[in-house]
Amino acid sequence: MLFETLATTGHEEVVFCHNKEAGLKAIIAIHNSVLGPALGGLRMWPYRSEQEAVADVLRLSRGMTYKNAVAGLNLGGGKAVIIGDPAKDKSEALFRAFGRFVESLNGRYITAEDVGIDVNDMEWVFRETSFVTGVHQVHGGSGDPSPFTAYGTLQGLMAALNARFGDEEVGRFSYAVQGAGHVGMEFIKLLREQGAKVYVTDINKDLVDRAVDEHGCIAVGLDEIYDVDADVYSPCALGGTVNEQTLPRLKCKVICGAANNQLADDAIGDEVTRRGIYYAPDYAVNAGGVMNISLEIDGYNRERAMRMMRTIYHNVSRIFEIARRDNIPTYKAADRMAEERIAAIGRLRLPHLGVPAPSFHGRRGS
């Protein structure tokens, strides 16, 4: 049954990790390693069943293949999940046991933080393996990715504005930003620095007040954000906010934000295109976080990180070109761009050409 699923999803390797004493039940999934070692976060979640955990790790690891490929990284897609409650089940032994499994894969999977995991957990993982990113800055970690993600989102936005209006002057347009959290607040700041008109909402009133007082935004209600007359709708909070209920209300010409999984489903993505709205695919726009941690692999450097964020402009522009070339919605064009890159680089690595796949030897200096 599982092999049948893997035949459809195209996964290369799925590792079930068990350590009774440490209470570890984890699954590591390597989806595709054509571009390089599989990088993707570790999630800890109280899954109701093992099937649910398997489905999640397969879905998330596949997503990382596409995200890393579109980001232009020499990395494949992978993900890991620990079945457990992050509020109750964490221990040194648990994370060290997990780290030993990561180490046993000899660099084919590189782990990172995801939902339910923090930098302290990663410190335990790091005791057992160097195939880890997102550790504390004292170990060469890259720190909070949010400002980078926000800057990358700005690059994606400029590409989308250029595609839609032939004008990427951010300050000439108006924005409805949903969520003024870690990424949203930084993004708002960047928009306001360029003189843009910014409407903002958040369930946390203090954050809205800050956006208004410190950055001069216009506060709107949680539901009102879908009705404001703004050129760009920028989801920076939750997924699924572009859906059957909200889409008919949106007056924007462009959708571009940092949130993951913005489209409720593919049909909505098709409808967005039909309505002439330019959607900048979320996983291309918000790749700043993964780009940042990817740089930890050969020694983190802030300047290289900022330079890398700017490539998001070209990635998103390329997606709009593919959408135009093939007459498809941008969410499909992003997938196509990833698949084309994996196929092209995969061909270069054919053994008869004598070009080996890149390898990863652990954190430099560790």
Specify the residue, 84 or 145, whose C-beta has the smaller distance to ligand NAD.
145
207 touches ligand NAD by CB under 6 A: yes
CB of 257 to ligand NAD, least distance (A): 8
Residue 115 C-beta: closest distance to ligand NAD, Å: 9
Which of residues 34 and 160 has its CB atom nearest to ligand NAD in the complex? Answer: 160
Does 77 bind ligand NAD (CB under 6 A)? Our answer is: no
Residues marked as catalytic: 79
Residue 222 interacts with ligand NAD (CB under 6 A)?
yes
Contacting ligand NAD within 285-304 (CB under 6 A): 286, 289
Query: In sequence order, which residues have a C-beta less than 8 Å from that of residue 171 and are 6 or more positions away?
Result: 194, 195, 196
List the one residue from 19, 106, 260, 311 that touches ligand NAD (CB under 6 A). 260
- What do you get for the CA distance between the two ends of the chain, in Å? 41
Which tokens is 350 given? 């054919």
The distance of closest approach from Cβ of residue 308 to ligand NAD in the complex, given in angstroms and rounded to an integer, is 14
Residue 17 has phi, psi (to 5 degrees) of -110, 125
**Binding pattern for the stretch 142-181 against ligand NAD, x by CB under 6 A and - elsewhere:** ---xx--x----------------------------xxxx
For residue 203, state whether it binds ligand NAD (rule: CB under 6 A).
yes
Q: Is 184 in the site for ligand NAD (CB under 6 A)?
A: yes
Q: How far is it, in rounded angstroms, from Cα 58 to Cα 90?
A: 23
Output the DSSP codes for 246-279: TGGG---SEE--S-SS-BSSHHHHHHHHHTT-EE
Phi, psi torsion values for 279, nearest 5 degrees: -100, 120
Residue type present at position 96 = R
Instruction: Find the binder of ligand NAD among 238, 267, 344, 355 (CB under 6 A).
Output: 238
| Residue 239, φ and ψ in degrees, nearest 5 | -85, 170
Residue ranges binding ligand NAD (CB under 6 A)? 145-146, 149, 178-184, 201-204, 207, 222, 236-238, 258-260, 286, 289
